[in-house]
Chains A and B, each alone.
Chain A
């Protein structure tokens, strides 16, 4: 049993499986296209070059971590538009705390994660307890987080220099820009993988996730069945804020700076990854597996178009089309 929706009949089962793994098939297709039509250099495929794949995975990690949190929020029928701005706030926070306030790595990371969690908590309260629509709450949250990031950084990007002296960040933080396992896996990708696996296991096994799906499926029925609807919704926003902050820390570590404009528009990429992954924006069905595939698909697509030197504006068009096609395919999906 999985938590996505099963269907009856053998023919129906095949179709259902196709749709359920829609994003995985999409990912494979985009990957194959990227390989086949990859530009070559001395006969070698540039796309499959180690450094290039490294770039793909690194770029995907930040969006991916955010998209996992976004999946949680969307599963209960909500939305969080603030994640990009929270990422910026967290990146600024990491840089300022270590560089200007002489925080150690763990202290800085802990404080920034708590800020993300607290931000999510407040948004959750506003939406679940006071009944303001999540779209509006997090639209406001987006502005607030962005404003806070600008105030905290003085409107400037804060560069992170490493060393032991004052005004320098501990060297340990630069780990985020490195690779592990013989230089094969970038640290951010490792973090993303851990987050994704934990989320997948959590969604499949926990009582809490049963409650999440129930709320997304029919909130009133869930409430009458004893599901603590308010508590679950607040918790889910906390998780999303926490993961956005984590993505912000990773972002700061990769770029060695925290700029208040970081993460601009990332919320849309995160939502796109969730939608391409087959999670219903109405809530109640979807999976993190799909979201991971969706994030990878977007990353591969971006990279492939970039390698061919496609005009960035055209890239936007292509991305938009992919999202529409993915959402359209969801509508064709057999009803439960």
Chain B
């Protein structure tokens, strides 16, 4: 997923778009190493020391990783699932609708 997400952030950087992570590694150091090694370019919440069982994944009933949720400008859910490509398509369509005619 890393290269895909990285280029998505790159491609959308001047658009009304934000890729926000919820990192579910136990150790923040592990996440930071992944960020450094792979030049990851998005901001993440940390799910806390309970990692995949931490408060954010629990509140969002996330049980499979990666899970992607796509929200519109009003934070309404348009996609939730495990298919990064489908999520990307949904997000790009939403952005296209927002920027149409501008």
Are A and B co-members of a single complex?
no
B: residues with CB less than 8 A from A are: none
A: residues with CB less than 8 A from B are: none
